[in-house]
Amino acid sequence: MILCYDLGKSVAGSLALHVMVSLARKLIASRNPIPTSRSYEFGNPEVFVPFSRLQETKLLESHLVSLLDNCSSLNQIKQVHAHVIRRGLDQCCYVLAKLIRLLTKINVPMDPYPRLVFHQVEYRNPFLWTALIRGYSIQGPLKEAVSLYNAMRRESISPVSFTFTALLKGSSDELELNLGRQIHCQSIKLGGFCEDLFVHNILIDMYVKCGWLDYGRKVFDEMSERDVISWTSLIVAYSKAGDMAAAAEMFERLPVKDLVAWTAMVSGFAQNAKPREALEFFHRMQSEGVETDELTLVGVISACAQLGAAKYANWVRDMAEGYGFGPANHVMVGSALIDMYSKCGNVEEAYKVFEKMKEKNVFSYSSMIMGFAMHGCANAALDLFEEMVKTEVKPNKVTFIGVLMACTHAGLVERGRNLFDTMEKHYSVEPSVEHYACMIDLLGRAGQLEEARELIKAMPMEPNSGVWGALLGACRIHAGRWEDVLGVRKSIKQKLLRKDPSRSWIEGKEGVIHEFYAGDMTHPNSKEIKEALEDLIGRLKSHGYEPNLSSVPYDLNEEHKRRILLTHSEKLALAYGLLITDSAGSTIKIMKNLRICEDCHSFMGGASQITGREIIVRDNKRFHHFRNGVCSCGNFW
């Protein structure tokens, strides 16, 4: 007799399963009368079977579970389920728990099929309960998983460790801290789980994701047994929190450092704007003989992009090719390389990588659009956006930051307005504070200060330093707006927003990176740098240069403002660049963490003319290519 059925969401489907199971039970009972041996069937202590039949049953259970493991569709699972019922295992918790877990894996809704399977079993063990609890924890609603747990406890069924990990995973995914804490208390109260490694690891994850990193660390410190997951979870958590000192401390204590832990450190340093430390850890990783994978390479490429050093750019690409992660076939590495070449000042090479990629996704398109935007290639960025939309690759938040930046650098106010207005309407991308900052920058540079102010008032979130900085820059650009500058600065101070200290860096010989802060003369070659800078200033003054004191928005006397201006970090970096490059035709490339000021922009233009050098400055907004006194931005930045 072959039982076939089709379970749907209808009542008829539910009744069909009830009738089918009842008929199957009667048929099996009529053919196989219940024996009276001391052995008993798994899941039903009242059904006694001979030992030989018990062995046969266990083999059958293993066979059916193996069949379920090979199922990849709902129809296949139903075929095996029909076989389970036909062979009289419709009460076997072991097989049915596996069935429910598999239904969860292929996203079959918990109600009605898995739930009905569960309710057909008369004597349910903890694993069957846990299978359904886990399903609701993954698919939702989470409250149904909690309700099942409560019902399980009312029936005096003791949970297993998987019960707690399922509920804690659900709490973690839903950021339900209070529920997670209650489950934590239950695991302690019921005993036997306070030493369970898996429960502790998911507890760490839950507390970290809910923003209670200190509690995650407390769980870790109290663990008697730890594995690499325990350590790596906290390393990643500290990295995301920006505490790389704590992450490094955990890493150094880790007994066995695997690929995941090394990658967490490399990526953590890169994500926290510590590129040199990221590369140092990567070199350590290589010296330890640890294999490199795609994620590690992306972290290294990100670090090279931040440094903007040509030597590192070529090195890391050759290494990616050597490890078999060439950009043509690996979209993640390719996207990272596009970003790196763009930030290293070589947008042409970035586009070559983009063109050679066999697969292009939202990340590769967004990286290239951002690359064009930061180099002032507004039309290329917007054309690529149109191409992206035609290929049905859906844009994301980064894509729109790129196209809005492109509009800002080209003064395309109306195009920027249209893109901002269609973000959510046409592409379901909710504007973030970064998008608002781009719009404030675009409107402010175009002199639309009142519209920029109104947009700030209409923001659904609190304006950050980027938004206020964009408005401040706009006020400084347009003459006669110094009262507005003071007003914006007052707002920034009231909101306790801080600006990072200005710093610039330049690649020296052998790829060594030299960093300079405004007014800082601690470099080993400070004396020579000061002399070179004074000489350059003198030559520029003979050609009509005068410091633009309005670039210093502080209430200081003119002499003090002059001293501040003439020791800006990019000027110090330029002087050092002139010292270390003796070729009249060589390019000097400077990276800067903040936006270049008006005086330094004018200074770089004049320096490019009297020295015969091309000077490239990458600030936090875009690239400026100075040649013969003229900047690629057309003095619009």
Both 534 and 615 in a single domain? yes
The residue out of 442, 474, 494 marking a domain boundary is 494
Strands 615-618 vs 588-592: parallel, antiparallel or unpaired: parallel
DSSP per-residue codes, 142-194: HHHHHHHHHHHHHTTPPP-HHHHHHHHHHHHHTT-HHHHHHHHHHHHHS-S-T
Report if residue 454 sits inside a domain.
Answer: yes
The residue out of 475, 494, 513 marking a domain boundary is 494
Number of domains in the chain: 2
**Tell me, what DSSP letter sits at residue 520?**
-
Report if residue 554 sits inside a domain.
Answer: yes
**Residue pointed to by tokens 């195009």:** 415
What integer pLDDT is reported at residue 486 of this predicted model? Answer: 56
Both 544 and 606 in a single domain? yes
Both 511 and 624 in a single domain? yes
Both 571 and 473 in a single domain? no
What integer pLDDT is reported at residue 203 of this predicted model? Answer: 94
Report if residue 139 sits inside a domain.
Answer: no
Both 533 and 622 in a single domain? yes
- Distance (Å, rounded) from C-alpha 387 to C-alpha 379? 12
Residues spanned by the domain of 478: 432-494
498 exposed, middle or buried (CB, 10 Å; 0-12, 13-18, 19+)? Answer: exposed
What integer pLDDT is reported at residue 24 of this predicted model? Answer: 44
Report if residue 321 sits inside a domain.
Answer: no
The segments of the chain whose pLDDT lies below 70 read 1-52, 194, 473-478, 480-500, 551-556, 583-584, 637
Both 447 and 527 in a single domain? no
Report if residue 541 sits inside a domain.
Answer: yes
Report if residue 296 sits inside a domain.
Answer: no
114 Rama class: left (phi>0) / alpha (psi -120 to 50) / beta: alpha
- Distance (Å, rounded) from C-alpha 417 to C-alpha 422? 9
What integer pLDDT is reported at residue 38 of this predicted model? Answer: 35
Convert 32-50 to b/e letters by CB count within 10 Å (16 or more is b). Answer: eeeeeeeeebbbeeeeebe
What integer pLDDT is reported at residue 21 of this predicted model? Answer: 44
What integer pLDDT is reported at residue 445 of this predicted model? Answer: 82
Both 541 and 614 in a single domain? yes
- Distance (Å, rounded) from C-alpha 108 to C-alpha 214? 37
What integer pLDDT is reported at residue 177 of this predicted model? Answer: 94
Both 448 and 488 in a single domain? yes
The residue out of 449, 470, 494 marking a domain boundary is 494
- Distance (Å, rounded) from C-alpha 187 to C-alpha 311? 54
What integer pLDDT is reported at residue 271 of this predicted model? Answer: 93
Report if residue 92 sits inside a domain.
Answer: no
Both 467 and 553 in a single domain? no
Both 456 and 524 in a single domain? no
What integer pLDDT is reported at residue 446 of this predicted model? Answer: 83
- Distance (Å, rounded) from C-alpha 551 to C-alpha 571? 14
Report if residue 581 sits inside a domain.
Answer: yes
> What are 554-611's pLDDT values in tens digits?
666 777 778 888 889 999 999 999 998 876 678 899 999 888 888 899 999 999 999 9
